[in-house]
């Protein structure tokens, strides 16, 4: 990689925290853009330059990018709920307008290249085959606001590419692995499983990517990705039953005794949306109608383009689960029996 500063947005998130560490391993000079009011413990002890800016503030974003050679734009407001009008506006302002601010600042300051983190939710889906980069996003499906904003983000990247900016989209699937500081939805499930408090689960499946692989994918996209292109990075598809078996292996605890009907869970989630969460529409929760629906889609994704063009080589999902477990134990989020 050429000399100069690499800026990472969203550095305290699951992807960003892994990417920052990977860049530091490569000997890169790293600047991270973060919001002052957030918990930034994911970066404790790391030799990085910190700048504070809100993606929605174009001037602050421009100041953060000044002097950088490369930008990894990983920050986004992730949500599996519909939310109210205020919530939808916040997602749009953060994900779409925030990306516009990043791209405009990159053009203004002559940034060499920008890699923008994409989402599988912004990629076309057909139930009988794996999603790939060429499948169009069908806007009339039951998309969540988050999926729409990530689709619009890709559109903004193409506009910037047309204007001459070197920009690539690195699409992530559901991430599993260490340095999960929030923690993520799947990280919380692993923690619950390890403590024996996960009494039941619902069947389904999704395409997952290890945190090691998605960080590596972003480096490959920066080094070799073609401007205006999108690359999907995944490790493998896994059913929920597959994941439960991996959790059993790493924790030594028995499988949950109850497998719930997805139709029942979807109905309960819908009822909760119309009752309790009607009063608190933006309150985070474990299972939402959108989350249940995503699991039931059992969507798969191919990473052949990344393999052929970038030399991407995925690792093993079971390794990512083990690394996630070990990291939770190290940080005290999982307390093992003695």
Q: Is the pLDDT of residue 281 over 60?
A: no
Q: Is the pLDDT of residue 250 over 80?
A: yes
Residue 277: per-residue pLDDT: 47
Split into its structural domains, the chain has a count of 1
Task: Find the helix or strand (DSSP H, E) in which 269 lies.
Answer: helix 262-274
Q: Count the Cβ atoms, other than its own, within 10 Å of residue 93.
A: 15
Cα separation of 242 and 237, whole Å? 9
pLDDT-derived band at 1 (thresholds 50, 70, 90) equals: low
The tokens describing 234, both together, are: 């995944």
Judge whether 212 and 305 are in contact, CB under 8 Å.
no
Residue 278 lies in a domain: no
Q: Is the pLDDT of residue 304 over 70?
A: yes
Q: How many residues does the chain have?
A: 338
Beta strand ranges found along 24-126 (DSSP E): 29-34, 49-52, 68-73, 113-119
Cα separation of 250 and 300, whole Å? 25
Q: Is the pLDDT of residue 44 over 60?
A: yes
Q: Is the pLDDT of residue 186 over 60?
A: yes
Cα separation of 240 and 204, whole Å? 6
Residue 32 lies in a domain: yes
CATH of the domain at 37: 3.40.50.720
Residue 327 lies in a domain: no
The tokens describing 143, both together, are: 């998309």
Domain of residue 172 covers: 5-182+202-236+298-314
State pTM to two decimals. 0.91
Instruction: Tell me the mean pLDDT in the region 86-91.
Output: 92
Cα separation of 282 and 203, whole Å? 26
Residue 323 lies in a domain: no
Mean pLDDT of the chain: 90
Q: Count the Cβ atoms, other than its own, within 10 Å of residue 117.
A: 27
pLDDT-derived band at 285 (thresholds 50, 70, 90) equals: low
Residue 142: per-residue pLDDT: 77
Q: CA triplet 298, 94, 324: central angle to 5 degrees? A: 50
Residue 191 lies in a domain: no
Residue 209 lies in a domain: yes
């Amino acid at each position: 990689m050429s000399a100069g500063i690499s800026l990472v947005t969203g550095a305290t998130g699951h992807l960003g925290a892994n990417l920052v560490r990977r860049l530091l391993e490569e000997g890169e000079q790293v600047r991270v853009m973060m919001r002052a009011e957030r918990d930034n413990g994911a970066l404790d002890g790391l030799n990085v330059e910190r700048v504070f800016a809100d993606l929605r503030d174009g001037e602050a974003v421009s100041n953060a990018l000044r002097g950088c050679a490369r930008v990894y734009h990983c920050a986004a407001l992730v949500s599996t709920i519909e939310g109210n009008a205020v919530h939808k506006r916040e997602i749009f302002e953060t994900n779409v307008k925030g990306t516009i601010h990043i791209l405009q600042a990159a053009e203004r300051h002559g940034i060499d290249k920008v890699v923008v983190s994409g989402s599988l939710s912004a990629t076309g889906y057909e139930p009988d085959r794996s999603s790939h980069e060429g499948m169009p996003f069908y806007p009339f499906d039951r998309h969540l606001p988050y999926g729409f904003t990530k689709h619009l983000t890709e559109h903004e990247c193409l506009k910037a590419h047309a204007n001459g900016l070197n920009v690539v989209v690195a699409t992530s699937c559901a991430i599993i692995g260490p340095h999960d500081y929030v923690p993520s939805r799947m990280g919380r499930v692993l923690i619950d499983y390890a403590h024996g408090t996960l009494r039941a689960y619902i069947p389904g499946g999704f395409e997952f990517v290890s945190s090691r692989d998605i960080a590596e994918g972003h480096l490959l996209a920066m080094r070799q990705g073609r401007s205006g292109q999108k690359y999907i990075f995944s490790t493998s598809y896994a059913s929920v039953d597959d994941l439960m078996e991996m959790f059993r292996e790493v924790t030594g605890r028995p499988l949950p005794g109850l497998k719930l009907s997805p139709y029942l869970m979807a109905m309960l989630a819908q009822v909760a949306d119309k009752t309790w969460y009607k009063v608190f529409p933006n309150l985070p929760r474990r299972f939402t109608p959108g989350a249940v629906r995503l699991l039931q889609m059992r969507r798969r994704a191919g990473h052949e383009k990344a393999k052929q063009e970038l030399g991407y080589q995925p690792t093993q999902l079971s390794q990512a689960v083990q690394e996630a477990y070990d990291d939770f134990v190290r940080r005290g989020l999982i307390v093992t029996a003695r």
